Amino acid sequence: MPSDQSTWLIAVPQDGDAEGLLPELTNKLPQYSRSAGVAELAIPSFKTGTLDSLIALSEELPKQDAFFTATVAKTVDTLRNLLNNDPTKLVQHVLVNEQSVDDYILGGWQWNSGRYGAQRSLREMVDVLNKEMASIDNVMKSKLNNYNLVKGSLFQMQRKKTGNLSVRSLVGVVSREDVIQDSEYLETCLVAVPKILIKEWDAKYERLTNMVVPRSSSHIVSDSDYSLFGVVIFKRIHDEFVQKCRENKFIVRDFVYSEEQIAKQEEELEIADATEKELWTELLRLSRTNFSESFQILVHLKVLRLFVESVLRYGLPANYVGLAIRPEPKYTKKTLSVLMSHFNYLGPRSSGRSKKQSANEEFAGEYQALMEQEFFDFVLYEVPWIVL
């Protein structure tokens, strides 16, 4: 059963039974209106080509369909992530030619002849569509990867400013007055002490090693977990002092105060922040544009699938009527039932069986012999509601 979370694209032979199809089905499905749930879908009369070429395309198109659908879905995911999963903002960006997806499909869809001339061969049109979608996919991958690298770098810089005093950057925390500078023998060692061990620190720090300057411990700052102290030691016993601190669960921070380094880090953070914002804007614009482009390409491929399947199933002449239906979830079964009932007259033709075996019916029947899967008497493909 087709999904109630997709728009159904349907094709049937254009004959007497198909005339006035839209109003007749609309009457049978009163919950719909022409502008809301059911609309005509213009299927051009393409060049059919040979039976072998049609069968080859029918085997190839499902793979391309899956790739096209995945590319559109990834573009939507990119937009969703850029917009922080805000559905209200997302709806404003998943537009096709500045109209909603529903309006694009149900608003009198037409084949883009200027871009994909209907006089081309089916193979040529499929190749053009595939080339365009592959280009969009490659561009999106490249731009998204570039953005993620910059965003990741910015995140790491910002992360250094968060966390407790045992891990966060001490830039902006420690000032020039907190450390000894330009001394040949002495240095200030910065130690993050768990708050529950402050009394122990005060009692032990002078005796952790030799050559610790007495009464040199000075409190710099505290957070909810740690207090940061500066203590003056001789440079020659630095490694030993660090080891003794580690044994007592005092954490020595590897930090050298440098105004030049501080200025450099702040500049790098500003540049990374500005670059991230610039790339965010560029990626949002590109994703919006490429969603519109890729969705149009996807629908064109679906229409080509409808045509190829219709020729193989019903034979010639290659004139078919198309419908686009967006089912209401609670009416999905009824919608499918009405379609099956209305088009049951196509059963003999779609199965390749008829009392009169014309050349066209033999053409369709040969294809049917290759197929083992069940299908409806009408041709149906789905466009998933990937923007939900």
pLDDT tens by residue, 187-242? 999 999 999 999 999 999 999 999 999 999 999 999 999 999 999 999 999 999 99
Per-residue pLDDT at 372 exceeds 50: no
How many angstroms separate the CA atoms of 216 and 84, rounded?
49
How many angstroms separate the CA atoms of 193 and 31, rounded?
70
- Per-chain mean pLDDT for the chain: 87
Determine the average pLDDT of the residues in 155-166.
Answer: 85
Three-class SS of residue 190?
strand
Kindly report the three-state secondary structure assignment for every residue of 216-240: CCEEEEECCCEEEEEEEEEHHHHHH
* Banded model confidence at residue 35, pLDDT cuts 50, 70, 90: very low
Residue-level pLDDT at 30: 52
Among residues of the chain, what percentage have pLDDT more than 90?
63
pLDDT: which is higher, 250 or 32:
250
Determine the average pLDDT of the residues in 144-164.
Answer: 90
Per-residue pLDDT at 54 exceeds 80: yes
The encoded tokens of residue 157 equal 């810089």
Residue-level pLDDT at 123: 95
pLDDT: which is higher, 292 or 34:
292
Residue-level pLDDT at 257: 84
How many angstroms separate the CA atoms of 216 and 229, rounded?
10
Residue-level pLDDT at 275: 95
Q: Checking phi first, is residue 315 left (phi over 0); if not, alpha (psi -120 to 50) or beta?
A: left
Residue-level pLDDT at 375: 74
Question: Which domains are seen in the chain, by residue range?
Answer: 6-152+276-345+373-384 (1.20.1460.10), 176-256 (3.30.70.100)
The residue written with tokens 């080859």 in the block is 56
326, containing H or E segment: none
How many angstroms separate the CA atoms of 39 and 7, rounded?
11
Residue-level pLDDT at 350: 65
Per-residue pLDDT at 354 exceeds 70: no
pTM for the model: 0.78
Per-residue pLDDT at 58 exceeds 70: yes
pLDDT: which is higher, 163 or 149:
149
DSSP H stretches of helix in the chain: 21-28, 51-82, 87-93, 101-106, 122-159, 198-204, 238-247, 259-314, 332-342, 347-350, 359-368
Orientation angle between helical segments 122-159 and 51-82, nearest 10 degrees: 20
Among residues of the chain, what percentage have pLDDT more than 70?
89
Residue-level pLDDT at 363: 46
Range from 19-23, 85-89, 207-211, 213-217 carrying the lowest mean pLDDT? 19-23
Determine the average pLDDT of the residues in 109-120.
Answer: 91
* CB of 217 closer than 8 Å to CB of 231: yes
Residue-level pLDDT at 181: 84
Most confident of 39-43, 101-105, 164-168, 199-203: 199-203
Residue-level pLDDT at 108: 87
Determine the average pLDDT of the residues in 240-260.
Answer: 92
Determine the average pLDDT of the residues in 105-117.
Answer: 91
Q: What is the pLDDT of residues 303-349, one digit of tens each?
A: 999 999 999 999 888 889 999 998 888 878 888 888 888 888 888 77
Per-residue pLDDT at 355 exceeds 60: no
